[in-house]
Structure 1
Amino acid sequence: MLIDTVAWVRIEDGRILCARPRGKGVFYIPGGKREGAETDLQTLVREIREELTVRIDPGTAAHAGTYEAGGPGLPDGALVRMACYTASYEGRLAPSSEIEEVAWFSYADRERVPPVDQLLFDDLNSRGELP
């Protein structure tokens, strides 16, 4: 079973934006699951608008990597695939009704995110983008 997701990589001042959904104890890179035949960019724009109330500028989107991992809380054999993109945005970042909290994490916070997000943290750290 493959869980197909798209995520927004937003780094400012050496920290990456993470969000914690309502009722969950874990932070994630903002984004979510594709609906129907949506493209990566359509999914990214929709999910970030729903979660953080800002508009992603699809013309500035750049693929930052795709990662796959299993993890706790997933069915046996399930993998999460996370296609990651950087992009500019318009508006003021604010958690929506489905997001309890947003936070800016450094590499030291790696253990606070799921395994697939940890792969992104490792990549960003190795490139010097997430100290």
Structure 2
Amino acid sequence: MQSDRLVDTVAWVLIENGRILCARPQGKDVFFVPGGKREGAETDLQTLLREIDEELTVALDPDTVEHVGTYEADLPGATPGLVRMACYTADYAGTVEPSSEIAEIAWFGYADRALVPPVDQLLFDDLAGAGLLPAADASAER
């Protein structure tokens, strides 16, 4: 799809016990892999550290950040454009808790793939293919 609109995002991939952490922002009815949009000339690392601190009140260890993959998909709904999501793992300090920006967090298995936007679904597919999100999983624990 050719489009003038590109939403450039960075996401933190946290997997525990075969489930990936997802967050639902205030005022939205859909869950996302935590992260957000780049501000100005921020690098992926700067965006990742800022967004995760803002959303989940934990500090990522910049020395442990590793690129998982970068995915592109059509924006959800009728909005024309693409979303690009650069995904990273990283160790963290603190307790993962939703900030005032986040209404709810949940641990999703591969069976919950339909509950996230198309770009997140591509990540879910790769993680399942790598055996990190088992395909025969039950529904989300909230």
Please, which of 61, 69, 73 is the counterpart of residue 73 of structure 2?
A: 69
1:9: which partner in 2?
13
Deviation at 1:74?
Answer: 5.5
Looking at structure 2, the residues matched to 37 and 25 of structure 1 have their Cα atoms a distance apart, in angstroms, of: 30
Please, which of 14, 33, 37 is the counterpart of residue 33 of structure 1?
A: 37
Within 5 A, what are the aligned runs for 1:50-129?
Answer: 50-73=54-77, 75-76=79-80, 78-129=81-132
Looking at structure 1, the residues matched to 75 and 45 of structure 2 have their Cα atoms a distance apart, in angstroms, of: 25
Which amino acid is 2:33 matched to? I
Which amino acid is 1:5 matched to? T
Structure 1 unaligned spans of 5+: none
Structure 2 unaligned spans of 5+: 135-142
Per-residue CA distance 1:58-113 (angstroms, 9 max, x = gap): 1000000000001333622x000000000000001110001000000000000000
Aligned-pair Cα RMSD in Å? 0.8
What is the identity percentage for the equivalent residue pairs of Structure 1 and Structure 2?
72
The structure showing larger relative contact order (alpha-carbon pairs under 8 Å, at least 6 residues apart) is 1
Structure 1: 4+ residue segments shifted above 6 A: none
Q: How many residues align?
A: 130
Looking at structure 2, the residues matched to 122 and 102 of structure 1 have their Cα atoms a distance apart, in angstroms, of: 21
The answer as to 2:51 corresponding to 1:43 is no
Looking at structure 2, the residues matched to 120 and 56 of structure 1 have their Cα atoms a distance apart, in angstroms, of: 20
Higher Cα Rg: structure 1 or 2? 2
The answer as to 2:5 corresponding to 1:21 is no
Looking at structure 1, the residues matched to 78 and 111 of structure 2 have their Cα atoms a distance apart, in angstroms, of: 25
TM-score w.r.t. the length of structure 1 is 0.97
